[in-house]
Amino acid sequence: MTQDVLLTFHDGVAEVTLNAPDRLNALGPEMLDSIAAAYREAADNGVRALVLRGEGRAFCAGRDISGVDPREDDVLGYLAERVQPLLEQMSAFPAPTFALAHGACLGVGLGLLIATDVVYVSESAKIGSPFAKLGATLDSGGHALFFERLGAHRTLDLIYTGRLLTGAEAVTAGLFSQAFPDDTALAATRQAAAIAAQGATQAFIASKLLVHQLRDERTGLWRAMSAENKAQAALCDTDDYREGFSAFQEKRTPTFTGTSRAAV
């Protein structure tokens, strides 16, 4: 990692901070590698939740094209060999992940949000596809997100016009989870992650995998229910499952450890 990406730990929560505010946290290849390294280190430390945020006026303005010659641009090398593998790695992180979006959240920056489990946005967030001005198109999963949540007409309206959604509009449209005033958004995101870090981690991971299966494989009701049944049966063999039942029966607050197997 470099100083452009910071990683901190607190009470079982990792916080990854994009720290290049002078360029609105725009991402070059080295910064992408640093994000991947931060997520690997966080996973190796066994954290039970992760927060992703950006320092300065924006979450992430997208790709850093300040030094890119369009005549020699290796677009596939950047998107297919660096961006997509990173987003898949982020999406598969073995604990609940949260992101806070503020200011510009564009291109690859939008992709970072798509690859996160829960996204909170501040009122200052700007989300959309202004890339027609560059002769480029939306990337990093943006088409899939917009089409799934907004439909074809609204998706192409945003792309053709370059109009950016506010944080409140993005939440109302169903793109992301909750919107907060700028001065309370970070605290709300950290609080949600802290709550998740005290929860039944393996149950959360099971739900993440079930949701990903619904998204990626378009499973119908009965196949989805069958997958839920198997996931629930697997959870029976965890400490947290047994603790949850015991706490309910004893009328007390459960204490979850997040472990994957029950003690013998």
Q: What is the pLDDT of residue 100?
A: 98
How high does pLDDT run on average in the chain? 94
- The share of the chain scoring above pLDDT 70, in percent, equals 98
Residue 39 is encoded by which pair of tokens? 């997520």
Contacts by residues 247-251 (CB-CB < 8 Å, ≥ 24 positions apart): none
Residues sharing a CB contact under 8 Å with residue 205, sequence separation 6 or more, in sequence order:
94, 95
Mean of pLDDT values over 129-154: 92
Q: Is the pLDDT score of 159 beyond 50?
A: yes
Q: What is the pLDDT of residue 171?
A: 96
90 close to 208: Cβ distance less than 8 angstroms: no
Name the residue with tokens 């202004």. 130
pTM: 0.94
Q: Is the pLDDT score of 147 beyond 70?
A: yes
Q: What is the pLDDT of residue 264?
A: 47
- The three-state DSSP-derived secondary structure of the chain is CCCCEEEEEECCEEEEEECCHHHCCCECHHHHHHHHHHHHHHHHCCCCEEEEEECCCCCECCECCCCCCCCCCCHHHHHHHHHHHHHHHHHCCCCCEEEEECCEEECHHHHHHHCCCEEEEECCCEEECCHHHHCCCCCCCHHHHHHHHHHHHHHHHHHHHCCEEEHHHHHHCCCCCEEECHHHHHHHHHHHHHHHHCCCHHHHHHHHHHHHHHHHHCCCHHHHHHHHHHHHHHHCCCHHHHHHHHHHHCCCCCCCCCCCCCCC
Instruction: Tell me the pLDDT tens digit for each residue of 184-233.
Output: 999 999 999 999 999 999 999 999 999 999 999 999 999 999 999 999 99
d(CA 57, CA 54): 8
Instruction: Tell me the pLDDT tens digit for each residue of 37-87.
Output: 999 999 999 999 999 999 999 999 999 888 888 888 889 999 999 999 999
Q: What is the pLDDT of residue 262?
A: 60
Q: What is the pLDDT of residue 66?
A: 87
**Cα-Cα end-to-end distance for the chain:** 39
Residue 18's DSSP bridge partners are 5, 54
**How many angstroms separate the most distant Cα atoms in the chain?**
68
Q: What is the pLDDT of residue 263?
A: 55
